[in-house]
C-alpha cells in the first residue's frame, strides 16, 4: 500500500477527495483526514511514552526501596539480632543502631582505619563491611576490649606511652594493634618480613619497621606515630593476649 504522491494530484484535488483506498490499493488521504490521523497517532505515541515513563519510574522506586535482611551477630559477647537495610555497614549498625560510638567514622571509604574493629579476631574496616555478611560472626569493638575497669594490655600500653593526642583515631589504632599482635603470634608475614629477609624465620620479630608496616592502614592526623609504635612494641613485649573473644568462624592466622 502506498500514498499517491502530491505531485500526481491536481491543485485542490486532495481537499475534494474522500479518504479511503483506491482501486490500485493506494491509501487516499485528504489534508483534513491526514491531520486527524497524525493527531491520533501522536496521541497514541504520547500515551505509550507515558506508560514507559511510568514503568521506568516504578522500577527506579523498586530499585531504591530498602531490602531488609535479618542477621544474628555477637557483639562484645552479647548476641544481637538485627533486621536492617542490606546496605547498612557494620559501622553504621554499631554507631546508629547499637549506640556503640567508640568506632569512629573518619573517611567512610576504607582509607583511614578509624573504624577498625575485630570480626572473628581479624581486623576489618567497619565502614566497608556490610552487616548482612556477618550472620553468626563475633565482633569486638573498642568497647569490648576491657574487662570491666581493667584495660586490655594494648589499651594500657597506649595510655602509658601517650599513644594519642585528640584520640579520634585511637579506637581503631588499638583494635588494629590488638589483632596485629595475634597475627604476629600466628606467623603472619608483612611486606617488611620479606624485605628484611625475615620471612623464612616463620615468626618475624615485631621490629619498629614491622609495626609501622602492619599499622599502616591506621592514619593519625595528629601524628602520634612514635608513641603509637612504642605502645604496640610494649604491648607485644608483654605478650599482650588481647581480649579477642573466641572465634567460631575463623581462627586468627588459620
Ligand atoms: Fe573506615 Fe576511614 S572510616 S577506613
Ligand atoms: Fe588525633 Fe590520632 S590522636 S588523629
pTM of the shown model: 0.72
CB 129 within 8 A of CB 89: yes
Cell of 59: 522500577
Cell of 195: 624485605
Q: Which residues line ligand 1 (CB under 6 A)?
A: 105-108, 110-115, 125, 127
Q: pLDDT (tens digit, 0 to 9) for every residue of the chain, 254 residues total? A: 445 454 445 554 444 556 566 666 566 666 666 566 666 556 555 666 677 777 777 676 677 788 999 999 999 999 999 999 999 999 999 999 999 999 999 999 999 999 999 999 999 999 999 999 999 999 999 999 999 999 999 999 999 999 999 999 999 999 999 999 999 999 998 999 998 888 888 778 899 999 999 999 999 999 999 999 999 999 998 755 443 333 333 332 22
Looking at all shown ligands, the one closest to residue 108's CA atom is 1
Ligand 2 pocket residue status of 158, Cβ below 6 Å = no
- Give the mutation target among 94, 102, 106 for probing the ligand 1 site: most ligand atoms within 8 A of CB: 106
Helices 170-185 and 153-160 cross at an angle (nearest 10°) of: 120
Cα angle for residues 141, 214, 154 (degrees, 5° grid): 45
Distances (CA, A) of 215 to 76, 141, 148, 250: 23, 17, 27, 21
Q: For ligand 1, atom 4, which residue shows the shortest CA distance?
A: 110
| Ligand 2 center–CA 229 separation, angstroms | 13
Nearest to 219 by CA among 87, 123, 97, 115: 115
- Is the sign of the CA dihedral 105, 109, 110, 112 positive or negative? negative
Amino acid at each position: 500500500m502506498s500514498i499517491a504522491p502530491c505531485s500526481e494530484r491536481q491543485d485542490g484535488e486532495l481537499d475534494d477527495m474522500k479518504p479511503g483506498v483506491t482501486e490500485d490499493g493506494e491509501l487516499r488521504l485528504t489534508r483534513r483526514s491526514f491531520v486527524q490521523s497524525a493527531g491520533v497517532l501522536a496521541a497514541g505515541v504520547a500515551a505509550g511514552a507515558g506508560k514507559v515513563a511510568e514503568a521506568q519510574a516504578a522500577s527506579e522506586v523498586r530499585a531504591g526501596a530498602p531490602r531488609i535482611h535479618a542477621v544474628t551477630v555477637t557483639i562484645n559477647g552479647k548476641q544481637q539480632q538485627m533486621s536492617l537495610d542490606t546496605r547498612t555497614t557494620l559501622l553504621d549498625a554499631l554507631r546508629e543502631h547499637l549506640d556503640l560510638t567508640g568506632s569512629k567514622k573518619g573517611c567512610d571509604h576504607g582509607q583511614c582505619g578509624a573504624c577498625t574493629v575485630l570480626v572473628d579476631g581479624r581486623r576489618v574496616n567497619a565502614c566497608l563491611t556490610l552487616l548482612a555478611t556477618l550472620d553468626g560472626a563475633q565482633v569486638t569493638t573498642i568497647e569490648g576490649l576491657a574487662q570491666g575497669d581493667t584495660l586490655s594490655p594494648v589499651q594500657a600500653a597506649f595510655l602509658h606511652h601517650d599513644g594519642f593526642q585528640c584520640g579520634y583515631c585511637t579506637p581503631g589504632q588499638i583494635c588494629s594493634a590488638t589483632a596485629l599482635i595475634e597475627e604476629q603470634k600466628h606467623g603472619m608475614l608483612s611486606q617488611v618480613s620479606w624485605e628484611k629477609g625475615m620471612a623464612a624465620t616463620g615468626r618475624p620479630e615485631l621490629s619498629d619497621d614491622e609495626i609501622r608496616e602492619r599499622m599502616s592502614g591506621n592514619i593519625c592526623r595528629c601524628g602520634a606515630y612514635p608513641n603509637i609504635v612504642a605502645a604496640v612494641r610494649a604491648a607485644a613485649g608483654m605478650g599482650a593476649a588481647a581480649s579477642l573473644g573466641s572465634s567460631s568462624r575463623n581462627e586468627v592466622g588459620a
